[in-house]
Amino acid sequence: MNLAVVGGGVIGLTCALRAADAGWRVTVFDAGVSRRASDVAAGMLGSLGEGHPGEEALLELSAASVRLWPELLRRLDDPDIVAARDSLFVAFTAADMKYLHQLARFVWSSDDEVASRLTEVSATQVRAKEPMLSGRLQGGYQARGEMAVDNRRLLSALRRALADVGVEFIDARVTDLADVRADRILLAAGVDAARLWPGLRIYEAKGEVLRLGRTRWSVAPPRHVIRGRIDNRNVYLVPRGDGVVVGATQYESADPDDRTPQVGGVADLLSDACEIMPGLRTYDLTEVGAGLRPMTDDGVPVVERVDDRVVVAAGHGRNGILLAPHTADRVAELLTS
């Protein structure tokens, strides 16, 4: 059986690998870097960080997908994909600390296994774990096993693994599914999915992500993922071998194709990141990126069969990398049902 995967981001590639390993003859249609939210991402595998009240279904889905990530990493066989093994949630003000307490109570009440990995840490303990963080931090929580991966290294590893099993890549943007010749189609095109299959409950949310490069005068990047709460805003710092990824803003844009970074969002990210880790002021600003996240109203992606030939896997929002292995398993089931 032939499977055409429309979408070259992390969801499309992970599902394509799962299908190829199951014996499908797979072709991937890739619209290019500019269309991929996966390229403008930090790669956090954050089931604890995504545990917000009102998103219980997403927390359960995220926790299930996190448990599948070790198997995917073994399949890709590249240890450098992992950027950090644990996360620190840190608060800048007393009000920010109260927010983290509320978030922690929600997580603790939802899943004993998930909650067992979350430990409150004092400001002194935060500084002991990450000496380069601000001395003004109030404290926070350590999330053991709350990993992050290098998103671009992950995409490269997926493409290598797919090439090794004979998957064909076609560098083209699909504008009509009727033009795609295959026994089955997986529609994993992010925000473009709703255009290719009208009626899908998916909308765009714009977000900026920054890449900071370490210089010869810079302090080392953090060892943990740093998820900061500062004056009621969220900012995260995710280590890379040569620097730090800083993110992320999120807001609706009047233009559904607007991928131009906005001054206010970039300024807020830089300001908050340097408040959390003052040593970042000596880093170079090497990239300012903006992407469109494919969102749903409840935060839960659309992974379903829509007709006899087409399966949709889209609407993963800010959690596409996190949810990729779970989505791939579900798509595999739908393709054979």
Q: Which two tokens stand for residue 56?
A: 């219980």
Please state, as a whole number, how many other Cβ atoms lie within 10 Å of the Cβ of residue 268: 17
Q: Answer yes or no: do 121 and 176 share one domain.
A: no
Nearest to 238 by CA among 250, 218, 221, 213: 221
Query: Do 52 and 187 share a domain, yes or no?
Result: yes
Distance CA 287, CA 283 (A): 12
Pair (159, 285) in one structural domain: no
User: Are 215 and 285 found together in one domain?
Assistant: yes
Asked if 54 and 155 sit in the same domain, the reply is yes
Same domain, 42 and 7: yes
Residues 242-261: tens digit of each pLDDT: 999 999 898 887 677 888 99
CATH code of 219's domain: 3.30.9.10
Structural domain that includes position 5: 1-84+149-201+299-336
- The pTM of the full predicted model, rounded to 2 decimals, is 0.94
Q: How far apart are CA 8 and CA 197, in angstroms?
A: 17
Nearest to 162 by CA among 11, 14, 290: 14
pLDDT in tens, 38-94: 999 999 997 666 666 677 788 889 889 999 999 999 999 999 999 999 999 999 999
Please count the structural domains in the chain: 2
List, for residues 149-160, the tens digit of each pLDDT value: 999 999 999 999
Same domain for 67 and 116? no
- Residue 6 clears pLDDT 90, i.e. is over it: yes
